[in-house]
C-alpha cells in the first residue's frame, strides 16, 4: 500500500509539473532548445551583383588585420587574400593604419574590409545601422577602393550590445542592406556563443565568417563542414596563431567548395579596370 501511495503521489506531482511547463511555453520551446534553432525572425539581405572571381587566381588562405597590428611587420604579400578592419574597435572610430593596411591588402589576389558593429540601446537601431553603413562607404571611397569591395560585419560581445535581440537584428539588417544598396556585397563575422547572445541565434541571411580562436589550419578545415552560427555552415573560417614576432595573427581559410565571389574582391579585375 505504501508503494502504491508513493507511486500515486509521484504521478500527481509529474502531472502538475507538466501542466506548469505547458503553460509557460517550455514544451513548445523544447525542440528549438534541443536543435539550437532560433526563435528569432531571419535577417533578410539582398546582395548586389559581385565581381566574378574567375577574373583572377586565389589561394584558399589569407590574413585579417586591423588596429592591433599597427606598427607591426605584416606578412609579405603573397598569392592569397587579406581582409582589413576599417574601424579602431568601435563604429565611427578611426583606424589609423587603415590606409597602409588597405594598400597591403591590395597586393594580394583578393581583399575585403570589415567593420565594427554595436548598439548602445539609444535611438532607432535601423536608422543607426544605415548611418554606420554610410560611414563605412565613405571610408572605403576615401581610400579609392571600388564600391564592389565586400564588407564583413564584425558582431562580437566585446562591443556594446544593449537592448533586445530584435533591436540588434534590426541594426544588423539595416547595416547590411544599406551597404548592398551602395554596391557592397556583405557577410558577417562572429562565433556561435557571441551570435546567440547578441541576436538570439537568428539566421543572418548572408555568408558567415566563423571565428574558432586559437587553432590550426586543420582545425579550421574541420570547422568548415559543421554548422557555424545562425544555422549556417561557414564560407570563411578564422583561426589565430602566434606570428614570427611572437604576436598573435589571424589566419583565414575559404572553405572547400565555396566560391570567393562576393566574399572577396579580385585585385586583378579591379586593377584591370573591369
pLDDT (0 to 100) of residue 38 = 64
Residue 94's contacts (CB-CB under 8 Å, 6 or more residues apart) are 87, 88
pLDDT (0 to 100) of residue 242 = 84
The average pLDDT across 152-160 equals 97
Dihedral pair phi/psi, residue 246, rounded to 5°: 90, -5
Q: Chain-centre distance of CA 43, in angstroms?
A: 13
Task: Tell me if 151 sits within 8 A of 124, measured CB to CB.
Answer: no
Q: Is 173 helix (H, G, I), strand (E, B) or coil?
A: helix
Query: For residues 260 and 11, which has the higher predicted lDDT (pLDDT)?
Result: 260
Q: Over the chain, what is the mean pLDDT? A: 86
Minimum mean pLDDT range among 32-36, 181-185, 252-256: 32-36
Whether 21 shows a pLDDT value over 50: the answer reads: no
Q: Mind listing the pLDDT tens digit for each residue in 178-236?
A: 999 999 999 999 999 999 999 999 999 999 999 999 999 999 999 999 999 999 999 99
pLDDT (0 to 100) of residue 23 = 40
Q: How confident is the model at residue 269 (pLDDT cuts 50, 70, 90)?
A: low
pLDDT (0 to 100) of residue 237 = 98
Query: For residues 34 and 176, which has the higher predicted lDDT (pLDDT)?
Result: 176
What's the grid cell of residue 158? Answer: 566585446
Q: Mind listing the pLDDT tens digit for each residue in 53-91?
A: 865 567 799 999 999 999 998 988 877 999 999 999 999
pLDDT (0 to 100) of residue 37 = 54
Alpha carbon distance 158, 93 (integer Å): 15
Whether 20 shows a pLDDT value over 80: the answer reads: no
Cα-Cα end-to-end distance for the chain: 88
pLDDT (0 to 100) of residue 246 = 78
Minimum mean pLDDT range among 5-9, 42-46, 125-129, 219-223: 5-9
pLDDT (0 to 100) of residue 17 = 47
* CA R_g for the chain: 22
Q: Is 247 helix (H, G, I), strand (E, B) or coil?
A: coil
Whether 3 shows a pLDDT value over 50: the answer reads: no
User: Which of 230, 152, 233 is CA-nearest to residue 185?
Assistant: 152
Query: For residues 115 and 19, which has the higher predicted lDDT (pLDDT)?
Result: 115
* Helices and strands (H, E) in the chain, number of each type: 8, 9
Query: For residues 193 and 16, which has the higher predicted lDDT (pLDDT)?
Result: 193
What's the grid cell of residue 71? Answer: 606598427
Residue 189's contacts (CB-CB under 8 Å, 6 or more residues apart) are 114, 152, 153, 154, 155, 156, 208, 209, 210, 211, 238
Whether 24 shows a pLDDT value over 70: the answer reads: no
- pTM for the full predicted model: 0.85
Whether 116 shows a pLDDT value over 80: the answer reads: yes
User: Which of 250, 157, 155, 242 is CA-nearest to residue 206?
Assistant: 155
Amino acid at each position: 500500500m505504501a508503494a502504491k501511495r508513493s507511486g500515486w503521489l509521484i504521478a500527481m506531482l509529474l502531472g502538475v509539473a507538466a501542466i506548469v511547463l505547458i503553460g509557460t511555453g517550455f514544451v513548445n520551446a523544447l525542440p528549438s532548445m534541443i536543435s539550437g534553432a532560433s526563435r528569432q525572425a531571419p535577417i533578410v539581405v539582398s546582395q548586389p551583383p559581385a565581381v566574378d572571381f574567375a577574373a583572377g587566381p586565389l589561394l584558399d588562405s589569407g590574413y585579417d588585420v586591423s588596429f592591433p597590428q599597427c606598427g607591426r611587420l605584416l606578412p609579405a604579400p603573397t598569392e592569397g587574400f587579406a581582409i582589413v578592419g576599417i574601424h579602431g574597435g568601435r563604429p565611427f572610430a578611426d583606424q589609423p593604419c587603415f590606409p597602409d593596411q588597405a594598400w597591403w591588402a591590395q597586393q594580394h589576389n583578393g581583399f575585403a574590409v570589415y567593420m565594427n558593429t554595436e548598439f548602445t540601446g539609444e535611438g532607432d537601431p535601423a536608422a543607426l545601422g544605415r548611418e554606420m553603413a554610410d560611414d563605412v562607404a565613405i571610408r572605403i571611397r576615401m581610400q579609392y577602393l571600388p564600391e564592389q569591395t565586400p564588407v564583413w560585419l564584425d558582431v562580437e560581445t566585446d562591443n556594446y550590445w544593449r537592448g533586445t535581440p530584435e533591436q540588434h537584428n534590426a541594426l544588423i539588417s539595416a547595416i547590411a542592406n544599406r551597404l548592398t544598396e551602395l554596391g557592397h556585397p556583405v557577410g558577417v563575422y562572429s562565433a556561435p556563443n557571441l551570435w546567440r547572445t547578441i541576436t538570439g541565434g537568428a539566421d543572418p541571411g548572408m555568408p558567415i565568417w566563423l571565428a574558432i580562436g586559437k587553432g590550426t589550419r586543420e582545425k579550421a578545415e574541420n570547422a568548415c563542414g559543421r554548422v557555424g552560427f545562425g544555422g549556417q555552415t561557414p564560407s570563411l573560417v578564422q583561426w589565430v596563431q602566434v606570428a614570427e614576432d611572437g604576436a598573435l595573427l589571424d589566419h583565414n581559410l575559404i572553405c572547400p567548395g565555396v566560391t570567393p565571389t562576393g566574399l572577396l574582391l579580385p585585385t586583378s579585375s579591379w586593377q584591370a579596370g573591369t
